Amino acid sequence: RQKQNKFASEREWDQFHSPRNLLLAMVGEVGEVAELFQWKGEVKDGLEDWSEKERTHLGQELSDVLIYLVRLAEKCHVDLPSVVVQKIALNEKKYPVELVKGSSKKYTEYASKTT
């Protein structure tokens, strides 16, 4: 975060980094990630059919998404590491192992079984 803040500060970009602008920039980067997968059909774990150049490009685009996400969280005063831990705990309650193991249904489809 500090390195990212320094990078933006040195360039006087903070004035452009409103939450809205950061969100829109991040969505654009997510689109660039999607383009890399477009027309490839199902892609296997590990991207074994991808060239090294394609994997490198993917890593760069994912990095762009992460950079904007971290910057957006900071501008919104969201402690991302803490809320990630909280969200995982919430998901553990929504999706108890004994109820959802091996299934991809949404938690609302299990609601009648948990009440």
pLDDT in the model for residue 111: 67
C-alpha 106/C-alpha 96 separation (Å) is 12
Amino acid at 17: H
Amino acid at 94: K
- pTM for this entry: 0.83
Q: Looking at the chain, which residues constitute the CATH 1.10.287.1080 domain(s)?
A: 1-78
The domain 1-78 having CATH identifier 3.40.630.10: the answer here is no
Tally Cβ neighbours within 10 Å of residue 40: 11
Confidence of residue 113 (pLDDT cuts 50, 70, 90): low
pLDDT in the model for residue 104: 86
- pLDDT digits 0-9 by tens, 18-77: 999 999 999 999 999 999 999 998 999 999 999 999 999 999 999 999 999 999 999 999
pLDDT in the model for residue 115: 47
Q: Which residue has the tokens 């892609």?
A: 43
pLDDT in the model for residue 112: 60
